[in-house]
Amino acid sequence: MMGAAGAASDTLYVDDVFSTFLYEGDQSARSINNGIDLSGEGGLVWFKNRNNTQKHVLFDTERGAGYYLSSNETSGNSADSARLTQFNNNGFAIGTDADVNGSSKTYTSWTFRKAPGFFDIVTYTGNDTGGHTIPHSLGSVPGCVIVKRTDSSDGWSVYHKNTQGLFSDPANNLITGLHSTNNASGSTTYWNDTTPTDSVFTLGSNSVVNGSGMNYIAYVFASEEPVFGKDGDESIIKCGGYTGNGTSGSSVNSIDLGFEPQWVMIKKTSGTGSWLMLDTMRGFTTVGVQDEYIHANSNSAASVHQYGGPTSTGFQVEGSDGDANGNGAKYIYIAIRRPHKPPESGTEVFAQKQIAGSGDTQTVSVSGSSVTDMTIIKNLTSNSHPWVLGSRILGAEVNKMDSNQAGTTSVFGTSVNVWDQMVGTELRYDIDINRTGNNYMNWQFTRKPGFFDVVAYTGNGVSGHTVPHNLGVVPEMMWIRTRNTTRNWRVYDSSGATGAMTFPTDAAKDINAAYFSTPTADNIILGTDLDTNGSNNHIAYLFATLPGISKIGTFSGTGSDINVDCGFTAGARFVIVKRTDSSGDWYVFDTERGINPGNDSYMLINSQANPVTNTDYIDPLNAGFTITSSAPAGLNTNGGTYMFFAIA
């Protein structure tokens, strides 16, 4: 077994070795920067056109940039100079071919970097002799091996460690090929009735994997090797299996990975079925929401279906679709962990921008920000428009922060492509978010350990119900909302007695333990109240203090200027303040609209009114922010208690 992820002094995260990168083609040669070092470390890039019928194309550093294979074809190496043209230390370069860069076409690319405990690429020559061993550098026992002959046409062959008892000897697991929908078989001629080891995999005599003098490539995937992350004790990939149950709702089929995935490939083994490819960038959301899928064995464009979605500890499959959850059917999967690299600055986790409504579909992107996982949008021009909050995990479904209404798709529309941007979101026309002649404020948040997490869950009404999360620390603030019925938002903060505040009102904290108990670094702990734990679908947004980046805390009012030290060096860019011991509005300030020595603009989450711009309630402070003596009782009165959330 390997002892470290790469060199002993290195710390690797999934962010360093895997990427789903989406882009629009423009038919001009250019580079794609996804932050993955391919030229130095080696790896595989897998492309698929999403909105047209075009084949998958796979390039790897072992065969070189000029050669590709297609997962939905049996052809060998195809030489080409207009698809992937170069492997770089931060991604790759593409040419003008329509398979990777057609004008106005949309694409996904999946990059797998070679790294012990994750992925390896091996080329070899067959010898037609059973027992032929092929060395690999994975440093652990492979969970899956995908083999393709490269010097001529032949099928893809896939070994997977888990076929749920379909065969008497798991060493014979042939899960057909990427190009095929066939069920699994137990032939000994592919893997020689021999389980792979942490240094080799073994071939049988079948010419599809081991013909004499023939050339092959193997993509070798690890499974559950805990050598990644800050302490080198986290796995980032798992190859496993499950049995379908054909149901949804309270009986949704849950698969435990030990981590939350961002990419999953699923194949039915007990019968025919396509290779189903899902990822959170294109729209692998949560139960009850449409997902975008691609079949590895087909050149068809991406399509949508309600397959399930990731959870904090794995993923769920719902319904009775045979490719993912047929009742009693057997399935295998490869799953890759969601990004988990800690941030180093506030600009990695938070961005803000004012936009002019266009009345047409437009993408809101903010320079320097990361992938957006949550956005809050507020109309700045016209009264009587709500605070709209959407998140990647809910797809097109949004909630209104100043309302107790159930979630709706009427704002973003029904498209699952709202979030399929590398930076920002795509907004269609709606008066609440994108109307001609109106201006809007957009705040964008990125999920990162120690800063922010999002959890979708189903309540059960039982006191002490625990819901796992991946914040990595104890949440200091939680916003919880029932998605599918009319209920209040409930807001937890870690100050004082356990209780809740609510966004639609200015009420003081309601000291009632029925909403939730004090959370832990691993779990939300719920009470019996219907707002947080009714037998419905819920969404929870979790926040914490991350030194130098975010601060959640309290201060006491004095009626004089109050300097609130957040531990920042260049001041707070975003501030929410709420009085907790008495009624008081939810004040929102930001540097985009002005945190100035003079008058500042503020809005209230509990109101749909336009911004107020002629008051001086907050001033800049390098360490955080200053609440001024001119602020009202909702912000600063002698003896008042106030909760705040600030981002650097």
> What percent of the chain shows pLDDT beyond 90?
83
* pLDDT at site 369: 63
SS3 12: coil
Give the Cα separation of 256 and 237 in Å (integer): 12
Residue with tokens 């207009």: 82
DSSP lists the bridge partners of residue 543 as 452, 477
* pLDDT at site 10: 78
Would the pLDDT of 8 be above 60? no
* pLDDT tens readout for residues 302-341: 999 999 999 999 999 999 999 999 999 999 999 999 999 9
Would the pLDDT of 522 be above 60? yes
pLDDT band for 468, please (50, 70, 90 cuts): very high
Residue 259 has what DSSP assignment? S
* pLDDT at site 9: 46
3-state SS, one letter per residue, for 430-483: CCCCCCCCCEEEEEEECCECCCEEEEEEECCCCCCEEEECCCCCCCCEEEEEEC
Lowest mean pLDDT among 94-98, 356-360, 604-608: 356-360
* pLDDT at site 417: 66
* pLDDT at site 416: 57
- Mean pLDDT, residues 118-131: 98
Structure tokens at 508: 């003081």
Lowest mean pLDDT among 164-168, 307-311, 525-529, 574-578: 164-168
- Going by their DSSP bridges, the two strands 303-305 and 291-295 should be labelled as antiparallel
Residue with tokens 């009404």: 461
Q: Which amino acid is at 420?
A: D
Give the Cα separation of 647 and 635 in Å (integer): 18
- Mean pLDDT, residues 154-166: 83
Give the Cα separation of 446 and 424 in Å (integer): 10
* pLDDT tens readout for residues 350-364: 999 999 998 888 888
Would the pLDDT of 167 be above 80? no
So where are the chain's domains?
14-113, 119-221, 237-337, 346-445, 452-543, 550-647
Residue 40 has what DSSP assignment? H
Residue 174 has what DSSP assignment? B
* pLDDT at site 7: 41
* pLDDT at site 2: 55
* pLDDT tens readout for residues 215-268: 999 999 999 999 999 999 999 999 999 999 999 887 899 999 999 999 999 999
- Mean pLDDT, residues 122-143: 97
Cβ atoms < 10 Å from Cβ of 614 = 7
Lowest mean pLDDT among 133-137, 512-516, 568-572: 512-516
- Mean pLDDT, residues 354-382: 86
pLDDT band for 4, please (50, 70, 90 cuts): very low
Best-predicted range by mean pLDDT (172-186, 492-506, 620-634): 620-634
pLDDT band for 428, please (50, 70, 90 cuts): confident
* pLDDT at site 498: 79
* pLDDT at site 5: 43
- Mean pLDDT, residues 64-85: 96
User: Global pTM?
Assistant: 0.95
Lowest mean pLDDT among 49-58, 397-406, 553-562, 604-613: 397-406
Would the pLDDT of 92 be above 60? yes
Q: Under a CB-based contact definition with an 8 Å cutoff, are residues 580 and 572 in contact?
A: no
Average pLDDT of the chain? 93
3-state SS, one letter per residue, for 377-409: EEECCCCCCCEEEEEHHHCCCEEECCCCCCCEC
* pLDDT at site 122: 98
* pLDDT at site 383: 87
* pLDDT tens readout for residues 526-553: 999 999 999 999 999 999 999 999 999 9
Helical ranges in 176-311 per DSSP H: 188-191, 207-210
* pLDDT at site 415: 63
